[in-house]
Chain A
Amino acid sequence: MEVLEHDSRARTDLPPVALTAPATDERAARRTLRAQIAKLERELSEAFVTAYPMGGLDEAPTRSCAAPRLLDLGELERVRDDLAVRVRSARATITERADRQAASRVQLERMLLEPGRYRFVRISNRELGEPGCGVWQVGPRLGLIGMLMGWWQVKLSSGCPLATGRGAAAAD
């Protein structure tokens, strides 16, 4: 009891404590959320650029194109959480495609070392993460003779087909 009375007296001697207004607290929280959103936006942009040559990212369901307005704490949290999910998903996509490309490169190395074990296997440049439309393919040297004799080789096909082929020209 004495202690309580002592505490109470002591408090009246202290200068008034400056309390933080809830509005200021919320503003600080919103500022933190905006910084997190900006960071996630940067990470998503970098993931977008990284994934582009691999075939791009899956299109995310876009939020309704609302009018610009001040978002409250809950809305900013939702934006941040949505972005975090998209960044995570983008990284998973990039990792999965990078693994697939690495596996294709290993497969190509093996094809080059032992073409006879990978007869008629095709790997496109796209699967290797390379630009262009070329395709690596194991085929027999000298056609049927090569098939009978077991002479196999890896050939890289030429580039992309023309946008308009002869068929289209003939049709005109």
Chain B
Amino acid sequence: MSFVSGGVAPELRAEFPGLRLQWTQLEARVRASPREVRRRLRELSDRVAGAGVVAMRTQPIPHAYRSFFRHVGLDPDAARIPSEAAAVRRLLDGRFRSRDILQDALLIALIETGVPVWALDGRRVEVDSLVLRAAVGGERLGGAPDGLSLPAGQLVVADAARVHATLFGEPVPEHLPGPGARAIVLYAVAVEGVPAIHVEEALWTATDVLKAG
């Protein structure tokens, strides 16, 4: 299994030397999660308790993402970082809910490492040109003419052809792997303070769940 470092636009790299995009591609299908994956989610649910969620923001990786959120104009108390959002959802729901094997794999990777991972349909992405960059004026989310217009300077995940998602946002629904997808691209965004091993672990965990399930 190989993890590839995606591009980061030079102006972004100059401002945020620790900002990284890492991706991997695998062949897998989206379907209901098997029993083992659902059991793993249940076990993870038992590991998340209220006191841990409150103290989460003082841990190194959530702190790194919270700081980065502030650096790019987001308020992590309003738009929670992915790991805190998942933990709060667990407290509200009483458990981590299983959706399908892909969403469960991404969730397990996030809970176990603190590093968010997103997925794209392999048919919709020119993965070799996947990059973190600032949007240019007139660009649209998803690349379609009726896609959401992006303000110039907004940070996005894009390839040479189209914008797939805003930074830390969910990819546009048309680019998400559906039941018909055969190839899935997983990508993780790391910021300064997040060790490389955690990013690889996140991608490895998601891949492992998808392949084993």
The answer to whether A and B belong to the same complex is yes
Residue A45 at the B interface, CB < 8 A?
A: yes
* A149 close to chain B: CB less than 8 A: no
Determine whether the beta carbon of B166 is less than 8 Å from that of A67: yes
Q: A45-B57, A49-B55, A70-B134 are in contact. Are A37 and B77 (CB under 8 A)?
A: no
Whether B167 pairs with A37 at a CB distance below 8 angstroms is no
8 A Cβ contacts from B134-179 to A: 134, 150-151, 153-155, 166-168
A37 touches B73 (CB 8 A): no
User: Does chain B have a CB within 8 A of A136?
Assistant: no
Interchain CB contact under 8 A, B54 and A49: yes
Tell me which residues from 1 to 35 in chain B have a Cβ below 8 Å from any Cβ of chain A.
Answer: 11-12, 14-15
Q: Is B70 an interface residue (CB 8 A)?
A: yes
Closest Cβ of chain B to A22, distance in Å, is: 15
Q: Is A68 an interface residue (CB 8 A)?
A: yes
Q: Which residues of A contact B72 (CB under 8 A)?
A: 68-71
B180 to chain A, nearest CB (A): 31
Q: What A residues does B77 contact at CB under 8 A?
A: 60, 62
Residues of B within 8 Å of A76, CB to CB, are 71
Which residues in window 41-72 of B have CB below 8 A to A?
54-55, 57-58, 63, 66-67, 69-72
Query: CB of B92 within 8 A of chain A?
Result: no
- At the interface, yes or no: A147 with Cβ under 8 Å from chain B? no
A20 CB, min distance to chain B CBs, angstroms: 15
Contact for B54 among A52, A64, A69, A79, CB less than 8 A = A52
Could you tell me how many residues of chain A have their Cβ less than 8 Å away from some Cβ of chain B?
27
- A63 at the binding interface (Cβ < 8 Å): yes
Q: Within residues 59 to 85 of chain A, which ones have a CB less than 8 A from any CB in chain B?
A: 60, 62-71, 75-76, 79, 83
A68 touches B73 (CB 8 A): yes
Residue of A nearest to B69 (CB): A68
Report yes or no: A65 in contact with B74, Cβ–Cβ below 8 A. Answer: yes
| Pairwise interchain contact B74-A48, C-beta atoms closer than 8 A | no
Residues of B within 8 A of A66 (CB): 73-74
B78 in contact (CB, < 8 A): yes
B66 CB contacts on chain A under 8 angstroms: 41, 45
Q: For the complex, give the distance between the alpha carbons of A7 and B83 in Å.
A: 63
Selected from B58, B73, B150, B154, the residue in CB contact (under 8 A) with A46 is B58
- How far apart are B137's CB and chain A's nearest CB, in angstroms? 13
Q: Would you give 23 A-B contacts (Cβ < 8 Å), ordered by A?
A: A27-B14, A37-B67, A37-B70, A37-B71, A41-B67, A42-B58, A46-B58, A49-B54, A49-B55, A60-B77, A64-B78, A67-B151, A67-B154, A68-B73, A68-B155, A69-B134, A69-B151, A69-B155, A70-B12, A70-B153, A71-B72, A79-B73, A83-B70
Give the 8 A-B residue pairs with the shortest CB-CB distance, closest first.
Answer: A62-B78, A38-B67, A68-B72, A45-B57, A68-B155, A67-B154, A63-B75, A68-B167
